């Protein structure tokens, strides 16, 4: 019995090792990284050269670091649900700020052709999503409702570094776009 089991194991290893390796394909062009590649999202997010890309997560389509080493901050792009106002209030609550009743007084920018609200707060970040509490922190966030959900871009880190990155962050948000399919481009 043992000999039969050993023989089956050896034969299965040989069968797997005899498979033909996939053929290598030479790449002769470059293009922007998109989430379209794995079929999850057609969003294109051109990263500012001053930021560093870090691995995405299940909830973050794009994930970046900015500033000085581990003392810097992070920027991430994600999809969310729940409405713009509840998300704005959740972000404000992370800094101990009172809820707002309306989005009317918040600044707006264009993201993907939509009016997106800009929310900011600074002070003590209470922590959350695996992040510890932090003094002298700030958030700068942009939220656009695209009908089937929300697109959020959130920058969080030391208050002085978030302030220094404000214009770059807003330009980044305005540069976001959706990749057109081959059918739309005529290719």
Give the model's pLDDT for residue 147: 85
Residue 124: both structure tokens together: 């003590």
Q: Range of 84's domain? A: 35-185
Provide DSSP, the chain.
Answer: -HHHHHHHHHHHHHHHHTSPPPPP---------BGGGGTS--EE----TTSEE----SS-SEEEEESSGGGSEEEEEEEE-S-HHHHHHHHHHTTTPPP-S-STTS-EEEETTEEEEEEEEEEEE--BTTBPPEEEEEEEEEEEE-SSSEEEEEEEEEHHHHHHHHHHHHHHHHH-EEPPPHHHHT-
Does 121 map to a domain?
yes
Q: Select from 68, 74, 76, 69 the least CA-distant residue to 45.
A: 76
Tell me, what CATH number does 172's domain have?
A: 2.60.120.1690
Does residue 28 sit within a domain?
no
- The verdict on residue 12 lying in a domain is no
What tokens does 125 get? 């970040």
Count how many domains the chain has: 1
> Which residues have a Cβ under 8 Å from the Cβ of 139 and sit 6 or more positions away?
91, 94, 95, 119, 120, 121, 122, 125, 154, 155, 156, 162
- What pLDDT does 109 receive? 97
> pLDDT at position 153, please?
97
In a domain, 80, yes or no: yes
Low-confidence residues of the chain, pLDDT below 50? 7, 10, 13-17, 19, 21-22, 24-25, 27-39, 183
Is residue 15 a part of any domain in this protein? no
Q: pLDDT value at position 63?
A: 94
Q: Is 185 left (phi over 0), alpha (psi -120 to 50) or beta?
A: alpha
Whether 11 is covered by a domain: the verdict is no
Q: What is the pLDDT of residue 56?
A: 87
DSSP-assigned states of every residue in 5-25: HHHHHHHHHHHHHTSPPPPP-
How much of the chain, in percent, has pLDDT values that exceed 90? 57
What is the model's pLDDT at position 92?
97
Query: Do the domain assignments include residue 4?
Result: no
């Amino acid at each position: 019995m043992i000999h039969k089991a050993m023989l089956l194991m050896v034969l299965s290893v040989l069968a797997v090792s005899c498979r033909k390796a996939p053929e290598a394909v030479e790449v002769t062009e470059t293009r922007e990284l998109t989430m379209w590649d794995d079929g999850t999202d057609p969003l294109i997010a051109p990263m500012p050269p001053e930021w560093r890309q870090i691995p995405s997560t299940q909830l973050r389509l794009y994930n970046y670091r900015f500033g000085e080493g581990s003392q810097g901050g992070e920027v991430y792009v994600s999809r969310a649900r729940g409405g713009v106002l509840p998300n704005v209030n959740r972000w404000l609550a992370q800094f101990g700020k009172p809820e707002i009743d309306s989005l009317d007084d918040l600044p707006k920018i264009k993201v993907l052709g939509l009016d997106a609200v800009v929310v900011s707060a600074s002070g003590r970040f209470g922590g959350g999503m695996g992040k510890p509490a932090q003094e002298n922190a700030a958030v700068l966030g942009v939220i656009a409702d695209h009908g089937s959900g929300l697109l959020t871009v959130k920058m969080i880190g030391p208050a002085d570094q978030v302030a220094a990155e404000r214009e770059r962050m807003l330009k980044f948000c305005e540069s976001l776009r959706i990749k057109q399919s081959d059918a739309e481009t005529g290719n």
